Structure 1
Amino acid sequence: MQYSILWADDEIDLLKPYIMFLESKGYDVTPVNSGADALEEVEKSKFDVVFLDENMPGMTGLEVLPQIKQLKPNLPVIMITKSEEEHIMEEAIGSKIADYLIKPLNPNQILLAVKKILDKKRLEEEKTNLSYQQEFRQLAMQYQDRIDHNEWAEIYKKLIFWELEIDRTENKSMAEVLNMQKSEANANFARFIEENYEEWLNDPKIDKPLMSHQLMRKKVFPLVKDNSPLFFLLIDNLRFDQWKILEGLLQDYFTVEEESSYYSILPTTTAYARNSIFAGMLPSEIEKQYPKHWVQDIGDSEDEEGFNQYEDFFFQEQIRRSRLTFKSSYYKILNTTQGKSLVDNFNNLMQNQLNVVVYNFVDMLSHARTDMAMIKELAPDESGYRSITASWFTHSPLFDLLKKISEKKGRLIITTDHGMIRVQNPAKIVGDRSVNTNLRYKQGKNLNWDDKDHVLVCRKPERFFLPKINVSTTYVFTMEDYFFAYPNNYNHYVNHYRNTFQHGGVSLEECIIPFVYLTAK
């Protein structure tokens, strides 16, 4: 591609060697010797970048710069000056220059500045693709070996890293290869969970990951201090890749002290995983100890929050059982009004040693995406989903709350209860009306399914510490990117739910989730 450069300098004749150097590299350079001429050229011709001398007679570079930005707001301008005065640099940077060069120049300095602007995307894509190709084989060999839960978490984080890096490239030419590798990794991870999950829950001596019911006791309560408020923010349904997007938005306000992960229990749903977090117990233990407060996920109800009416009660009970005494609060935010009210109440929160805030936007977004065509258009894939999450967060009361926490030197934990996966493949299942509606797992006494390879079966719920409604209750979980579909009206059902984000089953995206501890900058 032939790039065009405009170079404005009152001593332009002295710069001929540099211009010839750029032309030898394939750039088309238009020289002018005044700010007025530069504006005239910008108005009538198309340029890819402008070199602008700061100290020209008549109109200075700093005077020309805002007028160029008015004419062509997205045209990159490189300011060139003999001066190293700080106020000139600050004024130029404030006017959104692309780069700042100080005379005397050298050819490689000029070429680097041009490449950083004009060839940046191409060079970054080439480097990203090459680096991923080099790691592709190493990752594939790693997850085909017998590895433990820590290694699986590291593999998932590496896959997320490359997914985000490739997503930032212009052509995303390696995206399909990465998706195939993620799919293969998920198939191996599902077998890993199938082989190990029951033992994790029943054998106290084996090595196992941190799980939902241990999170508060092992990771949160030890961070509570008398003189420094701790905010525990649980964003429902937040995947690791979405956290990495939020991290970029928070980097001016917080320092990440710890970025780790833990494993969600099964089913990877709000009703089970989040109740376990706040109760500090597994689902069947909660049902046994607090039968009046356990709401069973059965029938045709799709109101997930209806299963989580007693989180505050479970939270306070866990504090009591742990024999801890500290001042705490619990808030569940379901809409913008509640979010703004919490921000308005911020000064009162600073009087507590631990503030728990549950935010439900991401979960609501996943359900809205299933039912609303407009949301599907805005978030057709993981990249779009991350984008819409970032847009929400940037303009949300939650961001305002976190800025206040940073301003007051509070400490922050960001985590979630489970992730989600974009489902693609249907698995037929038959059950009676008492079977729950979740697409990624089913429970019931008369379940029949065809797919044996992509379904994890739990015929003894007590081994998974899950409530047993009937003597013959069975739990089944889809693995990888499969979802359950009934034979009745099968094609309509599949077309409606394919390519939607769901949770409840077994996948890297649902099971391995972020736990991040941050301190204010």
Structure 2
Amino acid sequence: MSNGARILWVDDEIDLLKPHILFLKGKGYDVETANNAYDAIDLVASHPFDLIILDEMMPGMTGLETLPKIKEIRPTTPVIMVTKSEEENIMDKAVGSKIADYLIKPVNPNQVLLSIKKNVHSQQLVTEQSTADYRSQFGEIASALGQARTFADWTAIYKRLVGWEVELTESTDPGIREILAFQKNEANNEFSKFVRNHYLDWFSSRDGDTPVLSHNLMKAKVFPVADENPKTIFILIDNFRYDQWRMIHPVLHSIYEVEQEDFYCSILPTATQYARNAIFAGLTPLAIDKIMPNLWLNDNEAGGKNRHEEDFLKRQMQSQGRSGKLYFDKIVRSDAGKRLLDNIEKVHQADFAVIVYNFLDMLSHARTETQIIRDLAEDEAAFRSLTRSWFEHSDLLLLLKLLAERGHTVILSSDHGTIRVDNPVKVVGDRETSPNLRYKTGKNLAFNPKEVFAITKPEQAHLPKSNITSTYIFAYNRDFFVYPTNTNQFVRYYDNTFQHGGISMEEMIVPFIVLKPR
């Protein structure tokens, strides 16, 4: 049975290698041969090969002389160089010519087979092993779901599931991806129950199981890092999820080492208006509304809901007796990013800096509204890939490189995550009801209490209310709210879009990363 791989073996003593060739054919490989460079080049030009084994010491044209001609025709085809010589200059030339592997004669068949597997089947072997590893851990994760009692338990589960999502992205086994998606969906259902049962207690309890919430983030996690590192930059990337961090981490590996990889819990609603204002104010939304009513706008009030973040932060720092020079900037357009790079010295001179990047939030909205973006980011895996592509060409990466050169400690985090929704849940509300798809607040909401997390007394969740009978409801897992009128049209537009505001691991379990320059 053929494994589909076509190999060209080039050696002036090819007749002596018949046992090796028969061995490879017995393993299912389609092997063609050439005993000189000129025939080899003609074969490469006329036929695609998955791998080429090239002898270095050939009369007429050596392997090193042949290699660039092969690469010119088939630049991506891996080439294994074989030679009798162990001279360092020959090895250096071969490696410099981007060979895939280097073997010293005499070679044995298993040695050749191992090199072929490494260079032709490496991705397949990795995914096969990953699939086997995940299958063996499926039961462990299922058991952990039943035993999770704290937010820390859930962060551990979420890390494992995201790790497997990233690991199995390239898997050729669609069945294993379906099993993983099923298990993650089950995990989100159980996480939703956990939040429903414990969320309100977190505002009154002071035991060790209470997670760090948005309004405690600066005091509990950010400022302690800043106290230990005089030049600290806190970069808040809107809608930044842990799986997206896993995608950009390799890009930063040569620049920064990860000193801390942790999580905190976003408050509800997992929406910028609530979560980010709470972070910078160091107060719950209800407290902001009471203490600074002129700076808080409810959902049903016109105007920008995040225009006072810098004022909130300055007030929080002042209330905690924190002095020093603060730099604050919000990047919502590409020209703002370039302006920030031009002003890098202002960032460097500050004692503490905070920079908000809104790109991922804009990308989520653009995916909803633009078909081409939706096609590019069809699912979570594609969305992660798009995130990495953006990051590799972004002003943010350039900024991080400049900060590393200047010795800054960097904190990467977010105000909330986002989740791809696909299950419509019907609600009824009046004109004053908030428009968000993952949460609603209003005075005349009608809903099925089994399908939502309802907070009828907003003050228990430290949320403001626009009138005396205001209620908040939150969507679970991958649900999104629709009205009975024009339901089908609404569902077609928003199905399979990324949204935030509700209850899911992706939205509430927010990464908190501390980076130190290498």
Aligned partner of 1:100 in structure 2 is 102
Amino acid across the alignment from 2:14? I
Amino acid across the alignment from 2:215? H
Aligned partner of 2:58 in structure 1 is 56
CA contact (8 A) 2:458 2:472 kept: yes
Distance 1:296-1:83 versus aligned 2 partners, 3 A rule = farther
1:191 to partner: Cα distance? 0.5
TM-score by length of 2: 0.95
Aligned partner of 1:284 in structure 2 is 286
Distance 1:493-1:97 versus aligned 2 partners, 3 A rule = same
Segments of structure 2 that go 5 or more residues without pairing to the other structure are none
Aligned partner of 1:183 in structure 2 is 185
Aligned partner of 1:322 in structure 2 is 320
CA contact (8 A) 1:424 1:483 kept: yes
1:14 to partner: Cα distance? 4.1
Aligned partner of 1:455 in structure 2 is 452
Q: Percent identity?
A: 47
Aligned partner of 2:121 in structure 1 is 119
After TM superposition, list the pairs within 5 Å mapping 1:69-84 onto structure 2.
69-84=71-86
1:82 to partner: Cα distance? 4.3
1:71 to partner: Cα distance? 0.9
CA contact (8 A) 1:456 1:478 kept: yes
Q: What is the DSSP-based 3-state SS (H/G/I as helix, E as strand, rest coil) of the residue aligned with 1:468?
A: coil
More displaced 10-residue stretch of structure 1: 78-87 or 184-193:
78-87
CA offsets per residue over residues 475-510 of structure 1, 9 Å max, x none? 110111111101111111111111111000001110
Q: What is the DSSP-based 3-state SS (H/G/I as helix, E as strand, rest coil) of the residue aligned with 2:294?
A: coil
CA offsets per residue over residues 245-297 of structure 1, 9 Å max, x none? 01122112111111111110000010011111111111111111222211222
Is 1:312 paired with 2:310? yes
Distance 1:412-1:90 versus aligned 2 partners, 3 A rule = farther
How far apart in 2 are the matches of 1:136 and 1:13? 51
Aligned partner of 2:466 in structure 1 is 469
Number of equivalent positions: 516
More displaced 10-residue stretch of structure 1: 485-494 or 226-235:
226-235
Q: What is the DSSP-based 3-state SS (H/G/I as helix, E as strand, rest coil) of the residue aligned with 2:247?
A: helix
Amino acid across the alignment from 2:206? P
Q: What is the DSSP-based 3-state SS (H/G/I as helix, E as strand, rest coil) of the residue aligned with 1:456?
A: strand
Aligned partner of 1:211 in structure 2 is 213
CA offsets per residue over residues 72-120 of structure 1, 9 Å max, x none? 1221112234455555545444433322333443332211110112222
Q: What is the DSSP-based 3-state SS (H/G/I as helix, E as strand, rest coil) of the residue aligned with 2:199?
A: helix
Is 1:381 paired with 2:379? yes
Is 1:435 paired with 2:433? yes
Amino acid across the alignment from 1:42? V
More displaced 10-residue stretch of structure 1: 118-127 or 107-116:
118-127
Amino acid across the alignment from 1:31? T
Aligned partner of 1:136 in structure 2 is 138
Q: What is the DSSP-based 3-state SS (H/G/I as helix, E as strand, rest coil) of the residue aligned with 2:54?
A: strand
1:56 to partner: Cα distance? 3.4
CA contact (8 A) 2:131 2:171 kept: no
Amino acid across the alignment from 1:398? L
Q: Provide the aligned C-alpha RMSD in A.
A: 1.9
How far apart in 1 are the matches of 2:396 and 2:267? 27
How far apart in 2 are the matches of 1:358 and 1:62? 52
For 1:479, which of 476, 480, 486 is the aligned residue? 476
TM-score by length of 1: 0.94
Segments of structure 1 that go 5 or more residues without pairing to the other structure are none
How far apart in 2 are the matches of 1:399 and 1:83? 44
Amino acid across the alignment from 1:37? D
Aligned partner of 1:397 in structure 2 is 395
Is 1:512 paired with 2:514? no
Amino acid across the alignment from 2:509? I
How far apart in 1 are the matches of 2:286 and 2:339? 35
How far apart in 2 are the matches of 1:406 and 1:80? 42
How far apart in 2 are the matches of 1:235 and 1:227? 21
CA offsets per residue over residues 296-341 of structure 1, 9 Å max, x none? 2226x6x8xx211111111111111111122221110011111111
Amino acid across the alignment from 2:451? H
Is 1:495 paired with 2:497? no
Distance 1:104-1:220 versus aligned 2 partners, 3 A rule = farther
CA contact (8 A) 1:230 1:411 kept: yes
1:227 to partner: Cα distance? 7.0
CA offsets per residue over residues 40-77 of structure 1, 9 Å max, x none? 11012231100123343433333322221221122111
1:32 to partner: Cα distance? 2.2
Aligned partner of 1:271 in structure 2 is 273
CA contact (8 A) 2:225 2:232 kept: yes
CA contact (8 A) 1:54 1:62 kept: yes
